[in-house]
Amino acid sequence: MGYRVAVVGATGNVGREIIKTLSERDFPADEVIALASRASVGKEISFGENKILEVQALEGFDFSGIDFGLFSPGASVSRVHAPRAADAGCVVIDNTSEFRMDEDVPLVVPEVNGHTIGDFRQRNIIANPNCSTIQMVMALKPLHDLVPIKRIVVATYQSVSGSGKAAMDELFDHTRAIFMNDRKTPELFPKTIAFNVIPHIDVFMPDGSTKEETKLLRETQKILDADIALSATCVRVPTFIGHAEALNIEFHDRLNEDEAREALAEAPGVVVLDERHDGGYVTPVDCAGEDATYVSRIRQDSSVPNGLNMWVVSDNLRKGAALNAVQIAEELAHNHMNSH
């Protein structure tokens, strides 16, 4: 007997990817229920090759008897409905920022800190980290295990799909408009995204950082090591899918690039493609639709005693969101739930 799974925010970019991933990985579900706002009720979403899910209303939905709730509806919606689902006995895996920094909610990347999953019992909620955090800690963990990391400086190059389907539409429409010599006013982005880069993701904080940059710092410290210092600049770029990060890492002791390359190559979920010739690296276009976190451009940084540089790329909708959530559910199903 399998599990009953509810996907909340089922019509969004991540929700659709979660449904696709559940099918692709043959998650042991007897029933998958698609939930969204009342405006989406009745919409149909494909599940596997032969099934169609008809979207139901989240408002008023009874979570009794639901084993897993995979939430990706936006923080304000999760704030209301995730605790309601958890109180009904449903284990919530929440992809929003709402619960990530709560001390009694585990923030989990299974390959990095999977041992913390069992802490879900405190509130019946597990938080999925931010997409840019997930791929970064995937690449940092095997190195941090070898030699402790002291400080990270990271610049991110984040695709528009991280802001939702409407953001992808804006990039498409504004790119086409430029070719048609038709100037359009930005709606979702603070400046034109087509043929441009915008050093601003989420709201500005009092210290001049953006919330996205603050998330990277706090989530990395919670997942990996509270003593790691991190400085981030998060940039929205005109690509549709796939986030890239340029990482400069300072260790407490020397780690040479060959040791780093070997450790990364052996790490679960990480693929090293690092060849020093034209095209010998991974780009966002290459990683779209793939599950792995890719690492390229691994090299010593001679400007500091114990420095290393690398380039990290991953599909932000898959490992950065949907795949990570489904992997958490798989771990729970295999090791933490009453047998079905």
Q: Where are the alpha helices (DSSP H) in 6-97?
A: 13-24, 75-87
Neighbours of 206 (CB within 10 A): 5
CA distance 292 to 289: 9
Query: Counting runs of H as helices and runs of E as strands, what totals does the chain give?
Result: 9, 14
Residue 229 one-letter amino acid = A
Rounded CA-CA distance 223/215 in Å is 12
Question: Which of 174, 234, 243, 287 is the catalytic position?
Answer: 243
Contacts of residue 190, Cβ cutoff 8 Å, sequence gap at least 6: 198, 200
Query: Between the CA of residue 299 and those of 105, 256, 282, what are the distances in Å?
Result: 36, 8, 15
Residue holding tokens 């070997």?
A: 262
Cα torsion angle, 262, 264, 268, 270, sign: negative
Helix (H, G, I), strand (E, B) or coil at 241: coil
The residue from 90, 131, 234, 287 that is catalytic is 131
Q: Are 308 and 260 in contact (CB under 8 A)?
A: yes
C-beta of residue 130 within 8 angstroms of C-beta of residue 219: yes
For residue 118 the two structure tokens come to 């069992």
Active site residue 287: no
Catalytic annotation on 243?
yes
Q: Is 96 exposed, middle or buried (0-12, 13-18, 19+ CB in 10 A)?
A: buried
For the record, the structure tokens of 71 come out as 């939430």
Residues involved in catalysis: 131, 243
